[in-house]
Amino acid sequence: MRISVFGCGYLGAVHAACMAKLGHEVVGIDVLEEHIAMLEAGRPPFHEPGLPELLKEALSSGRLHFTTDASAAADATVHFICVGTPQKKHENAADLSYVRSAVGSLLPSLKPGDVVVGKSTVPVGTAEELQERVHEAQSGAELIWNPEFLREGFAVKDTLTPDRFVYGAEPTEQGRAAMAVLDEVYAKALSTGTPKIEADLATAQLVKVAANSFLATKISFINAMAELCEATGADVTLLADSIGHDARIGRKFLNAGLGFGGGCLPKDIRAFMARAGELGVADALTFLREVDSVNMRRRVRMVDLAREVCGGSIVGRTIAVLGAAFKPDSDDIRDSPALSVAAQMQLQGAHVTVTDPKAIDNAKKKWPDLVFVDGVEDAVAGAEAVLLLTEWPEYLALDPEELRQHVAAPVIVDGRNALDPVVWRAAGWTYRALGRP
């Protein structure tokens, strides 16, 4: 099939490359010339495991191209909208300007039988607004919604072999025909039995924010339990293991620590609350305010813990931070809990040095006043406390005996409950963590 993908960020670039891998002819379109040039040269403008190899393979097959020229979509019949919907400045609501502008630039290219497929995470009601524009343009095209659930770090796998497909369409002949076209796009995964749910536009839009709200709630639930553990001397990791064995609860997304960040969970729960308010059902989501507060409190608690291990004050103390990305295997620093803690400590008078295997360049742009270095050894040199804030595998593999040689004081604070306290204590370290004695 001939496909266009509007937006070549974390979602769109991966989607475009994966669609080409499936045998489709794909053009990726974005307004950022620099990113398009990099993608066309086979270099993703962000870190995503497996993507560079996939991109090269797809480009050399001749089935994948990238351009800033929106009219290139005219050759395609299926058009995916994959642009970002960030949080608006000074508001909880989502900024829909990129989605509106992408659809606006696509309209002149649409022809009868074309299908516009929305993948961006949007407030419910957006698809209906965009559908109206597609219909008003008298193009003969139809818009459907097909939310994306990919996780950064696993984006290629999640796109090629997703847990499920959700389609949302209008209950009309055109809506049904458009869903059948999407079946052809995803024929490979569907043939292996991937579940598919056909729904209306509103449900399909809600599914995504409901899923992310559930995940955020699960993380904040266990982090709230961590607060209880801190007050009682209990261990939140044992608590999570114990309740996680109940199949109804499950152990996934019960890792207590510094909480969630990134470009999705924080802004999605806020945009969801804002939309619920507009719809007159704000009460239904007031619990998400608490989910957000529990999450933000973890960052404050981490700074307090740093103060505690430094003997009551961090003013003038040397602190090393391992991790800047919002999670491992990503260079994404959007709403990164690690950087938020690092910046707070610096504002409160500590000498903070941050390191990260992939995210330093991005972090420097956003936080130019923080000190960044490559490599753990340089980061921890002379440190009076080391804070593990993003659980990169290389940090989990650190040898505590060896690391001790470089620090001023062997004090480690595990912000992700990812290290083995027995091993670190046996190597002479003072080990502290969130929610653990």
Which residues are catalytic, by number?
264
Q: Please give the Cα distance from 235 to 249 (Å, whole number).
A: 18
Q: Please report, as residue ranges, which positions from 128 to 157 form the binding site for ligand UDX (by CB under 6 A).
A: 148-152
Residue closer to ligand UDX by CB (options 265, 319) is 265
Contact window for ligand UDX (CB under 6 A) among 26-34, 178-186, 255-263, 395-403 = 255-263
- Using CB under 6 A as the binding rule, whether residue 46 contacts ligand UDX is answered as no
Q: How far is the CB of 68 from ligand UDX (least distance, A)?
A: 26
- Using CB under 6 A as the binding rule, whether residue 210 contacts ligand UDX is answered as no
- Binding residue for ligand UDX, selected from 16, 254, 271, 294, defined by CB under 6 A: 254
Residue closer to ligand UDX by CB (options 157, 176) is 157
Neighbouring residues of 366: CB distance < 8 A, sequence distance ≥ 6: 333, 339
- Using CB under 6 A as the binding rule, whether residue 14 contacts ligand UDX is answered as no
Q: Please give the Cα distance from 429 to 423 (Å, whole number).
A: 9
- Using CB under 6 A as the binding rule, whether residue 205 contacts ligand UDX is answered as no
Q: Please give the Cα distance from 271 to 364 (Å, whole number).
A: 27
Q: Please give the Cα distance from 20 to 51 (Å, whole number).
A: 12
Annotate each residue in 288-327 with x if it binds ligand UDX (CB under 6 A) or - if it does not, as one string: --------------------------------------xx
Q: Please give the Cα distance from 161 to 336 (Å, whole number).
A: 28
Q: How far is the CB of 61 from ligand UDX (least distance, A)?
A: 27
Q: How many chain residues bind ligand UDX (CB under 6 A)?
A: 20
- Using CB under 6 A as the binding rule, whether residue 357 contacts ligand UDX is answered as no
- Using CB under 6 A as the binding rule, whether residue 206 contacts ligand UDX is answered as no
Q: Please give the Cα distance from 150 to 58 (Å, whole number).
A: 20
Q: Report which residue type is found at 89.
A: K
What Cα–Cα distance (Å) separates residue 185 from each residue in 137, 215, 248? 25, 28, 34
Q: How far is the CB of 180 from ligand UDX (least distance, A)?
A: 25
Which residue from 327, 200, 211 is spatially nearest to 259, judged by alpha carbons? Answer: 327
Contact window for ligand UDX (CB under 6 A) among 65-73, 256-264, 350-358, 363-371 = 256-264
Helix (H) or strand (E) holding 145: strand 142-145
Contact window for ligand UDX (CB under 6 A) among 50-58, 67-75, 241-249, 250-258 = 250-258
Q: Are 272 and 216 in contact (CB under 8 A)?
A: no
Helix (H) or strand (E) holding 25: strand 25-29
Neighbouring residues of 305: CB distance < 8 A, sequence distance ≥ 6: 413, 432, 434
Q: Please report, as residue ranges, which positions from 260 to 279 form the binding site for ligand UDX (by CB under 6 A).
A: 260-262, 264-265
> What residues line the site for ligand UDX (CB under 6 A)?
148-152, 212, 215, 219, 253-255, 257, 259-262, 264-265, 326-327
